[in-house]
Amino acid sequence: MPLTNLPPFAADLVADLESLGTERVDTPVIQPAEPFLDMAGEDLRRRIFMTESETGKSLCLRPEFTIPVCLRHIETATGTPKRYAYLGEVFRQRREGANEFYQAGIEDLGEPDAARADARAVHDALHVLANRLPGVPLAVTLGDQSVFEAVVAACGLPAGWQKRLVHAFGNQERLSRLIADLSSPEPSGVFGPEVERLAILGKLDDEAALAAHIDATMEATGYSTNASRSPVEIARRLREKIELASTRLDARTLSLLTGFLSLELTLAEAPAALAAFAGKAGLALDDALARFDARVAALSDAGVDAAAITYRAAFGRPLDYYTGLVFEVTPKGDPAVLAGGGRFDRLLTLLGATDRIPAVGFALWLDRIAAAERGAA
């Protein structure tokens, strides 16, 4: 499909990407919607342009490239490690700017040395931007979803709350709201008179008795279980909701979570600060911090100055498939994201790959790069 209205620097940008040891690929503009709806996250789901095939299959206009490139890799049964480059149009409802715009980027699949691949992603994004925007000072913000997950797990919260908090990572408003709910003295859940009656009868404490009660109620009302969840599944989910609603953070755990999320300093200082936090809190974060330290060392080996990068413990990106490193690059003093990316080690397995394939990548927003270029002229 011919690309029109590309910025003048697009050809040079493609040459930059190909010089970094990548294979240029393209993917169809019309994509199956299910992978994006299931795995991309709430923020992107709200902005996807949906359509249908003549058979009723849900389709969408390509909202990003990571999932399509990964699907293509799986379908072609290509071996790893493999580095793909892309440039093409994506389609999203945006608050500002056109809903149809160009992205380029790199997806790095199957590199066994995660620290090296993470460092290469940050280095390559900065390299391409520096070539396009010489003399424009850039700011890099970096976070790590796996460190946050390790902190939440070490705090001993129920699995349901851990899942909620991890899914909220990167959305500061939502994360703050969940922590506020957890720290409120009174449960926020309201379950209605039927649940209160079951509690009085003592059925909520016994999952088997609760499932039997639900089964009998469904039978009596003629409600078919074939089109919905089974009584056992309903009982399990109800008990989980009650546990989530009744869980409250003690003062120490609240202090740990809020203290961790308030960390913001240079990446060069971050390893010592995270080690000090874990030691003072008595949290076992050794594996996550070892991976973090290895990445900082790999960035230094790649020629990236860790002292020039900001580490924010609460920083994430609004895509559900990230599992570790997350980063964004902006012009200094300007919130416009020129490049953003991260690690997504679970995505290819969820998309159907038979073997685990570690992966990291980044995307470049060409319209924002063009605007920064004009501003620097």
**Both 233 and 293 in a single domain?**
no
CATH of the domain at 317: 3.30.930.10
Total number of domains constituting the chain: 2
- Which residues are 100's β-sheet partners? 91
Q: Residue 200: its pLDDT value, please?
A: 42
- 340: phi then psi, degrees, rounded to nearest 5: -155, 150
Does the pLDDT value for residue 370 go beyond 90?
Answer: yes
Mean pLDDT for 342-362 is: 96
Q: Residue 1: its pLDDT value, please?
A: 47
Q: Residue 48: its pLDDT value, please?
A: 94
Residue 302 is encoded by which pair of tokens? 């790649």
Mean pLDDT for 57-64 is: 96
Domain assignment of residue 254, yes or no: no
Mean pLDDT for 209-220 is: 67
Q: Using the Cα atoms of residue 255, residue 258, residue 261 and residue 266 in order, give the sign of their dihedral.
A: negative
Query: Each residue of 265-295: pLDDT tens digit?
Result: 999 999 999 999 999 999 999 999 999 999 9
**Both 208 and 123 in a single domain?**
no
Q: What is the per-residue DSSP string for 313-326?
A: TT---S-TT--SEE
Query: Each residue of 164-199: pLDDT tens digit?
Result: 888 889 888 888 888 888 887 655 444 445 554 454
Q: Residue 242: its pLDDT value, please?
A: 61
* Inter-residue contact 46 to 324 (CB < 8 Å): no
Mean pLDDT for 59-83 is: 95
Domain assignment of residue 258, yes or no: no
Mean pLDDT for 160-167 is: 85
**Both 348 and 211 in a single domain?**
no
What is the pLDDT of the chain when averaged over all its residues?
A: 87
* Inter-residue contact 39 to 320 (CB < 8 Å): yes
Domain assignment of residue 321, yes or no: yes
Mean pLDDT for 16-39 is: 95
**Both 104 and 235 in a single domain?**
no
Could you say which of 201, 226, 246 is where a domain stops? 246
Domain assignment of residue 171, yes or no: no
Q: What is the per-residue DSSP string for 110-156?
A: --S-HHHHHHHHHHHHHHHHHHHSTT--EEEEEEEHHHHHHHHHHTT
Q: Using the Cα atoms of residue 75, residue 76, residue 82 and residue 84 in order, give the sign of their dihedral.
A: negative
Residue 78 pLDDT grade (very low, low, confident, very high; cuts 50, 70, 90): confident
Segment among 183-192, 291-300, 305-314 with least mean pLDDT: 183-192
Q: Residue 181: its pLDDT value, please?
A: 80
Separation of alpha carbons 360 and 108, rounded Å: 5
Residue 63 C-beta-side C-alpha neighbours within 13 Å = 24
pLDDT > 90 fraction of the chain, expressed in percent and rounded: 66
Domain assignment of residue 129, yes or no: yes
Q: Residue 279: its pLDDT value, please?
A: 96
**Both 25 and 129 in a single domain?**
yes
Domain span at residue 372 reads 10-150+275-376
Question: 303: phi > 0 → left, psi -120 to 50 → alpha, else beta; which?
Answer: left
Does the pLDDT value for residue 298 go beyond 60?
Answer: yes
Domain assignment of residue 335, yes or no: yes
Does the pLDDT value for residue 222 go beyond 50?
Answer: yes
The CA-atom distances, in angstroms, between 1 and each of 60, 191, 234, 288, 309 are 17, 53, 48, 43, 38
Residue 332 is encoded by which pair of tokens? 């200094």
Residue 103 pLDDT grade (very low, low, confident, very high; cuts 50, 70, 90): very high
**Both 23 and 144 in a single domain?**
yes
Terminal Cα distance for the chain, rounded: 32
Residue 222 C-beta-side C-alpha neighbours within 13 Å = 0
Separation of alpha carbons 116 and 292, rounded Å: 12
**Both 146 and 40 in a single domain?**
yes
Domain assignment of residue 252, yes or no: no
Q: Report the greatest alpha carbon distance in the chain.
A: 75
**Both 20 and 113 in a single domain?**
yes
**Both 225 and 350 in a single domain?**
no
Question: 342: phi > 0 → left, psi -120 to 50 → alpha, else beta; which?
Answer: left
Q: Residue 3: its pLDDT value, please?
A: 57
**Both 235 and 362 in a single domain?**
no
Residue 116 is encoded by which pair of tokens? 């090296």
**Both 214 and 283 in a single domain?**
no
Domain assignment of residue 157, yes or no: no
**Both 50 and 107 in a single domain?**
yes
Q: Residue 162: its pLDDT value, please?
A: 86
The larger pLDDT score, comparing residue 64 to residue 184, is at 64
